[in-house]
Amino acid sequence: MPAFAANLTLMFNEWSFLDRFDAAADAGFTAVEYLFPYEAAPDAIAERLARNGLQQALFNLPPGNWAAGERGIAALPGRFDELTSGVERALDYAAATGVKRLHLMAGLADSKDEEAASCYRRSIVYTAERLAESGIDLLIEPINGRNMPGYFLNDFGTAERLIAELDLPNLKLQFDIYHRQVLHGDVTMALRRLLPVTGHIQVASVPPRHEPDDEELNYAYLFEEIDRLGYDGFVGCEYIPRGRTLDGLDWFKPFSRS
Ligand SMILES: O=C(O)C(=O)[C@H](O)CO
Ligand SMILES: [Mg+2]
């Protein structure tokens, strides 16, 4: 049975960020993920995880100026010093939360630009080696251009080749099934081929990115396939609830701890 992680950036928005931990636990989740923890104190997050018996599945390394439209800095020339200080900041939160996988966002750059590609490789190698000292995996995620126009890593084949080429033991794929379907389709065969290099899975309906219970994909089949493949990581629920979060959790009832 997949270990689902509530995404507290998109779900439970009826509550404040820290209260979302309690709401997710009350709804039966045993793990959480979110984009960024950095507006809350590490010990405040740690306290919510502890009191609710929640595991921290994933969060993202600092992405640059998100409010200004930046979507990561790893592939951006001239941002390496900012990247290295962001790694240290993320490690402070990792120590407090016990997270064992962090997602490094590439940024908005031409995916054919050699300088951006070189920056990206350097950022990945540095970050992976630094995280490895704490036993943490580094994830890279292909993101589709409809949701994030201009994002540098926009192809699963590119991600697969980069992971093989860099051959870092803790560099893994963040397999967001939503992006896979939008970009390439062929989800089941891609899961079968890429699971050995996959460090995290995320789910949402396609095309509207809602609960994984309707529209284009048969998630009941995909959840069974994930089990058949022996995946023992987390499945992040990175979806936008159609209405109130709690009203959309019927799909989760067979997997809930409550
Ligand atoms: O966009 C996604 O699917 C992600 O998982 C990023 O981490 C946040 O944009
Ligand atoms: Mg995702």
Q: What is the 3-state secondary structure (H, E, C) of 49-113?
A: HHHHCCEEEEEECCCCCHHHCCCECCCCCCCHHHHHHHHHHHHHHHHHHCCCEEECCECECCCCC
- From the list 33, 70, 129, 141, the catalytic residue is 141
Evaluate the omega torsion of the peptide bond into residue 207 and state whether it is cis, within 30 degrees of 0: yes
Is ligand 1 within 6 A of the CB of residue 33?
no
What pLDDT score does 83 carry? 98
* CA-based radius of gyration for the chain: 17
What pLDDT score does 14 carry? 98
Is ligand 1 within 6 A of the CB of residue 200?
no
**Number of the ligand closest to the Cα of 203:** 2
- Tell me whether strands 55-60 and 101-103 are parallel, antiparallel or unpaired: parallel
What pLDDT score does 113 carry? 98
Identify the residue whose C-alpha is closest to ligand 1 atom 8.
35
Q: What global pTM score does this model have?
A: 0.98
What pLDDT score does 258 carry? 72
Distance, CA of 141 to CA of 211 (rounded, Å): 20
Separation of 237 CA from ligand 2 center, angstroms?
9
Is ligand 1 within 6 A of the CB of residue 143?
yes
Residues surrounding ion ligand 2 at CB below 5 Å: 176, 202, 238
Per-residue model confidence as pLDDT tens for the chain (258 residues): 889 999 999 999 999 999 999 999 999 999 999 999 999 999 999 999 999 999 999 999 999 999 999 999 999 999 999 999 999 999 999 999 999 999 999 999 999 999 999 999 999 999 999 999 999 999 999 999 999 999 999 999 999 999 999 999 999 999 999 999 999 999 999 999 999 999 999 999 999 999 999 999 999 999 999 999 999 999 999 999 999 999 999 999 998 887
The reply to whether 165 belongs to the active site is no
Atom of ligand 1 at shortest distance to CA of 236? 5
Structural contact between residues 151 and 179, judged by C-beta atoms closer than 8 angstroms: no
| Per-residue pLDDT reduced to its tens digit, 43-59 | 999 999 999 999 999 99
Identify the residue whose C-alpha is closest to ligand 1 atom 9.
35
Structural contact between residues 11 and 241, judged by C-beta atoms closer than 8 angstroms: yes
Q: What share of the chain is helix, strand, coil (3-state, %, to 5)?
A: 45, 15, 40
Separation of 1 CA from ligand 1 center, angstroms?
24
Residue type (1 letter), 234: F
Separation of 115 CA from ligand 1 center, angstroms?
23
